[in-house]
Amino acid sequence: MSAANAGKQKILCLTDGLPITEITLHRGETGLGFNIRGGTDIPHFKEDTGIFVTRLKEAGAAFRDKRLKEGDKILEVNGHNIQSVTHNEAVQIFITAGETVSMKVQHGAEQHVLKQLEARKKGMSGAVIGAVAVVVLAAAAGGVFLMMKDKQ
């Protein structure tokens, strides 16, 4: 690994193509009021290193505003792209974001990722079944060939 790439994590994303919505929240006395998971160092999904909302706190600005939801993916905070940051970097960006926080989010991103992973899983199991069927058929054909050869 080169010195330039040392410490950089691979960015993975399964939410390309989902609509992006802008939400502005005012922190107020109770704060933004949500928890996040994810980041390049500890992804919420090993296949997607983005930052996901995992919990809304009832007293927080996000809960009162009602637009940000659990399962949303946050792409940007006050113009700062957070798709390629560690978890702690994302937390620091939120802590230092100021009173008014503008975010670009993808609603329902967590559910979208889960559906994609399920589809991949089904596709892989179908491929495995197909490969097993080919092996079984080849073995059966080989057995028939040997039986026919012995009868000659």
Give all strands (DSSP E) within 60-113, no chain letters: 73-77, 80-81, 100-106
For residue 149, name the pLDDT band (cuts at 50, 70, 90): low
What is the pLDDT at residue 120? 85
Q: What's the start-to-end Cα distance of the chain, in Å? A: 62
In a domain, 119, yes or no: no
In a domain, 138, yes or no: no
| Residue range of the domain that includes 28 | 3-112
In a domain, 63, yes or no: yes
Q: Provide the domain count of the chain.
A: 1
Confirm if 94 and 101 have CB atoms less than 8 A apart.
yes
CATH of the domain at 60: 2.30.42.10
What average pLDDT does the segment 81-103 reach?
97
In a domain, 145, yes or no: no
In a domain, 150, yes or no: no
In a domain, 81, yes or no: yes
What is the pLDDT at residue 6? 41
The Cα 143–Cα 110 span in angstroms is 49
What average pLDDT does the segment 109-129 reach?
79
